[in-house]
A and B are shown apart, each in its own frame.
Chain A
Amino acid sequence: MTYTSTECGPAQVGLSADFTVNRQAFRLHVRLEIGAEILVLFGPSGSGKTTTLNAIAGIVTPERGCITLAGQVLFRRQEGTRPVNLPARQRRVGYVFQHYALFPHLTALENVAYPLRGPARHRQAMALLERLNLTRLADRYPHELSGGQQQRVAIARALAAAPRLLLLDEPFSALDLAVRQHLQRDLAALQRELGLPVIYVTHRLEDAFAVGQRLAVMRDGEVAQIGPIEDVFRHPADAHVAGIIGIANLFRSRVIAADVGGVTLDWDGLQLVAPPQAVEVGGMATAYIRPEDVKIIYPDRPLTEAVQHNQTTGRIIENSFRPGARHLLVALPNGHEIEVRHPPSTYAPLNLQVGQEVRLALRREALVLLK
């Protein structure tokens, strides 16, 4: 039976969620709307990302609120309305769990065929495996597959149940960089092809840039900000959000060259090199580097791989210690500032002080260009 409702969120195509989950010493309050797009749920661990997915999938029951998907009420507990709590099996929400949760007693093909019915189920499962380039692995058991392969089987299995929404919990966290980038492209293509709403949970900013269209930043059980990724980066709602997304080292720069050797950027007079990628020469690009990836160069030591590129000088204008890390704010010759973060004991021989001149290197591989 389908309930359509107006008092409970308008989402006729996508997902609309507004709910509260109370756990001992933790309160989660989430408000989200999502259409046929990829929404990245980003935040530090413990901020409530997985609980949000579990509530939408029907694994966790919120205390109050409302969740609708494609015009159907999945969950509703509000004053003056009839309570609704569809069991997970009736929600048609595809869920790729953090460690994939493949059935270990079934082969890849049987895993994908699990939600299917009827005599054609193995043929349909085979078609999905083919779509994800897994045909040759159909008869393997999960423990015989690599992490990336298991992940693709998990996505194929979720799609086999004809979901109206796809949830992915840290789907790429266990994979190495090359595999990750490949799968991220696949996921984006798949989303366009199926026109599904997708919620993608990650604690890594690079993943957010790679697949997401919109970004929801979570903090202490709340959605602190939600919007197009570029907007969130340019206008963080408050200092907390800026802190979480590491807004410190985000800058606009002009692309002055791009070839197989890399992309050359001009950041108001400072030339930087980023790994090769497709960008428009002459256009502006937003670039980002994590404070951990800005290295200080020892004047008396040979240059290591990490500090060969993107060198500049600067003057330390702030020096503060936080749990487990030292933060430096360094003024650059181009008039901007850059944040540097490293373990407290690193660079001890340099005896860094406010006012001191240092040489910096922005690690080339870590320089991320946003679309």
Chain B
Amino acid sequence: MNWHPLWLSLQVTAVATALMVAAGLPLAWLLARRRFRGATLLETLLMLPLVLPPTVVGYYLLLALGRGSPIVTWFGWRILFTWGAAAIASAVVGLPLLVQAARAAIAGVDPALEHAARTLGSSELEVLWRVTLPLARRGILAGLVLAATRALGEFGATLMVAGNIPGRTQTLPLAIYDAVQNRQYDQANALVLLMTALAFLSLWAVRRFEQPRPTRPAAAASESS
């Protein structure tokens, strides 16, 4: 049994998750809290990877990361057909799920609470850190788990930009494809079972996050001052 695809997948997913948090949370906040021209356009563009065929997303990424793109000509950053490209592809495909959930969670925080924090001397960053994010935490975590799981299972776009090089860019979903092609059904069965378990656990976690937070027994509250 070859476990390398699992470790590579976890590595790719970790980096993709970091990228999604870095890009997704500011975007979610922007869409939830600021009115600006082109907000609807931006939102639509962000959602596109949800409905486009992964090959189309992959093709765009090939253009964006390939020869002649600013990333290569300006920064000399040759990332195609490395695991880094797989991480970027996974992040782009998972991002809509995070942005959607986080935007809804942030929009659900009462703006009066943020105003109150400002009148109490908080800067915008402090308002975000001490009021908005803690109150939106459950929704953001649910979105994050969902997005990370989607990133873990990424196949099409990853194949286009990172290839399927065993030991270098072959992630778990690609390894399953190879195993089936080569009729290595023992390997395929094991990896499919693993993938299903991971997906099941993450959806389970999302449900838990989305449940309302437990309140303390009413007896404690009814005692008067």
Contacts and interface: CB of A to CB of B under 8 A. Distances in A.
Nearest to B120: A115
Q: For the complex of A and B, list the 5 residue pairs with the smallest distance between their C-beta atoms, beginning with the closest.
A: A144-B221, A88-B118, A115-B120, A101-B116, A101-B112
Contacts of A172: none
A94 B116 CA distance: 9
Nearest to B118: A88
- Prevailing SS type, chain A contact patch: loop
B113 A114 contact: no
Interface of B: 110, 112-113, 115-123, 130-131, 134-135, 215-216, 220-221, 224-225
Interface string A103-134: 11100000000110000000000000000011
B118 A59 contact: yes
A325 B75 CA distance: 76
A295 interface: no
Contacts of B122: 89, 115
B118 A58 contact: yes
A134 B117 contact: no
28 contacts: A57-B115, A58-B118, A58-B119, A59-B115, A59-B119, A87-B118, A88-B115, A88-B118, A88-B119, A89-B118, A89-B119, A89-B122, A92-B121, A94-B119, A95-B115, A95-B116, A95-B119, A97-B115, A99-B112, A103-B113, A103-B131, A114-B120, A115-B120, A143-B215, A144-B221, A145-B221, A146-B225, A161-B120
Contacts of A93: 119
Contacts of B113: 101, 103-104
A234 interface: no
Nearest to B213: A105
A21 to B, nearest CB: 16
A146 B220 contact: no
A165 to B, nearest CB: 11
A141 interface: yes
A182 B224 CA distance: 15
Interface SS of B by simple majority: helix
B117, B121, B221 pick with most chain A CB within 10 angstroms: B121
Interface residues of A, number: 36
A146 B223 CA distance: 9
Contacts of B221: 140, 143-145
A343 B9 CA distance: 72
A88 B120 CA distance: 8
Contacts of B134: 105
Nearest to A59: B115
Contacts, number: 73
A157 interface: yes
A284 interface: no
A111 B110 CA distance: 16
Given A101-B113, A115-B120, A157-B120, 7 more contacts: A57-B115, A88-B118, A99-B112, A101-B112, A144-B216, A146-B225, A161-B120
B38 to A, nearest CB: 23
Contacts of B215: 143
A94 B120 CA distance: 7
B225 A149 contact: yes
A89 B130 CA distance: 14
A134 B224 CA distance: 11
Nearest to B218: A144
A145 B119 CA distance: 23
B174 to A, nearest CB: 42
Interface string A71-89: 0000000000000000111
B116 A133 contact: no
B81 to A, nearest CB: 46
A137 B121 contact: no
A164 interface: no
Contacts of A144: 216, 220-221
Contacts of B225: 133-134, 136-137, 146, 148-149
A89 B220 contact: no
Contacts of B119: 57-59, 88-89, 91, 93-95, 158, 161
Contacts of B117: 103, 114
A368 to B, nearest CB: 27
Given A89-B123, A115-B120, A104 B135 contact: yes
Interface string A143-169: 111101100000001101100000000
A88 B114 CA distance: 11
Nearest to B221: A144
A112 B74 CA distance: 52
Contacts of B220: 140, 144
A19 B112 CA distance: 23
A32 to B, nearest CB: 18
A94 B115 CA distance: 11
A281 B111 CA distance: 51
Contacts of B224: 146
A154 to B, nearest CB: 8
A326 to B, nearest CB: 39
Given A103-B131, A140-B220, A146-B224, A115 B121 contact: yes
A103 B117 CA distance: 9
Interface string A190-231: 000000000000000000000000000000000000000000
B90 to A, nearest CB: 32
B112 A105 contact: no
A87 B122 CA distance: 10
For A57, A114, A145, which residue has the most chain B Cβ atoms within 10 angstroms?
A114
A137 to B, nearest CB: 6
